[in-house]
Copies of this chain bind each other. A is one copy, B any other.
Amino acid sequence: MKEASYLALTQESLPPRLAGIPAVTERLGRAHDTWRVKEVGDGNLNLVFIVESSEGSLIVKQALPYVRLVGDSWPLPLYRAFYEFNALMRQAQRDPGAVPEVFHFDEDQALIVMEFLSPHVILRNKLIAGEKVAGLGAFCGRHCARMAFRGSELSMKSADKKTDVGVFAGNIEIPAITESLVFTDPYFDAEMNTHTAGLDPLVAKLRSDVALKCAVQSMLVKFSSNTETMLHGDLHSGSIMATETDIRIIDPEFAQYGPMGFDIGTLTANYLMAYFSQPGHRGADLERYQDWILSVITDSFEAFDAEFRRLWATERSGMLYPKSLFEDQGHGSEPACNAMLEAIWQDAVQFCGIEMHRRCLSLAHNADFETIKDAQTRAGLEARNLEMGATLILSADKVKTSQALCALARTFNGKDVL
């Protein structure tokens, strides 16, 4: 990548700069001075523009050479756009329709031109607003299963998968963010950490729990030294856009190879944080809406399980658990599939607990809690979330099913932890 030629787009410079790209003019027309451009990047890392004309619309996403949330004191390589583009290609192939269509990629400018999803809004905002999305759990569970299975050597040719591991091994700084912000910083007084006033005693307790820290670090070993499949790497409710009935997965710039349970575990944590934060947002319909959130979790794992089993039976063409060893010998391979799903579940439970912690303890908190203005209310709800997270990390082996996970959530939801 010739970083020298890179230039961040502005609302003003975007139309003339993109006017020569056929994939753009095909959709917006050639009269670029009539295009309407709006910068809407509300994430932590990038510029995001909606560009509209009388003929059509699209999104232009451009990486910035630093962490937007922090500023240019935290540089971040532009090459992440290359990984995001590559991840989007693989997602589209492995779960057609699940991600925005990509129209154009410019590696030098670290920009991706893609489908503008409308009237989709960020799922996290819907969860805060108390809005339901039909089929959410089924869609996301199926998506995670397809990505897990089809990106692994259960399905891929070894040569293709190993080559791809080599490609993604070049992405160093992005995984490093997760490694520190998610797995390490929450558990000591790291520089950029913040937490809600009132949580001090609980935070001190968590940070002095050596068994907890050991368990989290053992999951960091798995996260950083495991190449089972290509992960989204940052699958939370801000990485999903939805209408009442349509759902898309966005923003895979944290894509990396990692353990199959990571994405669905992280996503589950975000549902649980939505669940625990609801008393700060809802009135009369609180209980019913919380029930719905938990149903999304059980739907997710039910769909993951069903889809993984379907793919195991129909698409197991890789070198792992080959049919030559099982079906071709008249031996069923269900015990192996069961064991693999159980291992994925256990990993997911622990990753879930870790994500629940990091969103309240280190940088990059989430709006579910942050938009609760009263600090005392917020602290009380975050405390339930933190305590349940610790239980999941330390006692994952006692939480056998998603139903048990949800029952545990109900228990903590009724507790005054502080």
* B-binding residues in A (CB < 8 A): 152-153, 158-159, 162-163, 165-167, 169-170, 172, 175-176, 179-180, 184, 187-188, 190, 207-208, 210-211, 213-214, 217-218, 220-221, 224-228, 319-322, 324-326, 328-329, 331-333, 335-336, 339-340
Contacts and interface: CB of A to CB of B under 8 A. Distances in A.
B325 A213 contact: yes
B224 A320 contact: yes
A320 B158 contact: no
B224 A153 contact: yes
A180 B210 contact: no
A321 B224 CA distance: 12
Nearest to A183: B319
Contact of A169 (B162, B175, B213, B333): B162
Contacts of A336: 213-214, 217-218
Which of A211, A331, A333 neighbours the largest number of chain B CB atoms within 10 Å of its CB? A331
Given A169-B162, A188-B325, A227-B227, A331 B210 contact: yes
Contacts of A218: 336, 339-340
Which of the listed residues A176, A214, A226 has the most CB atoms from chain B within 10 Å of its own CB? A214
Contacts of A225: 152-153, 226-228
Contacts of A166: 165-167, 169-170
Contacts of A213: 325-326, 331, 336
B169 A328 contact: no
Nearest to A171: B162
Contacts of A326: 210, 213
26 contacts: A153-B224, A158-B172, A158-B179, A159-B176, A162-B175, A163-B172, A165-B166, A166-B170, A169-B169, A184-B322, A184-B324, A188-B328, A207-B329, A208-B329, A210-B326, A213-B336, A214-B333, A217-B320, A217-B321, A217-B336, A218-B336, A218-B339, A220-B319, A224-B319, A225-B226, A227-B227
A318 to B, nearest CB: 10
Given A227-B227, A320-B217, A172 B179 contact: no
A180 to B, nearest CB: 7
A320 B153 contact: no
Nearest to A176: B158
A220 B320 contact: yes
A217 B325 contact: yes
User: Which of A179, A221, A326, A336 counts the most B-chain CB atoms under 10 A from its CB?
Assistant: A221
A163 B170 CA distance: 6
Contacts of A228: 221, 225
A169 to B, nearest CB: 3
Contact of A320 (B159, B175, B221): B221
A59 to B, nearest CB: 30
Nearest to A328: B188
Contacts of A163: 169-170, 172
Contacts of A339: 214, 218
A331 B208 contact: yes
A214 B329 CA distance: 14
Contacts of A333: 210, 214
A221 to B, nearest CB: 6
Contacts of A153: 224-225
Nearest to A331: B210
A198 to B, nearest CB: 22
A417 to B, nearest CB: 23
A184 B335 contact: no
B184 A325 contact: yes
A278 to B, nearest CB: 32
A217 B333 CA distance: 11
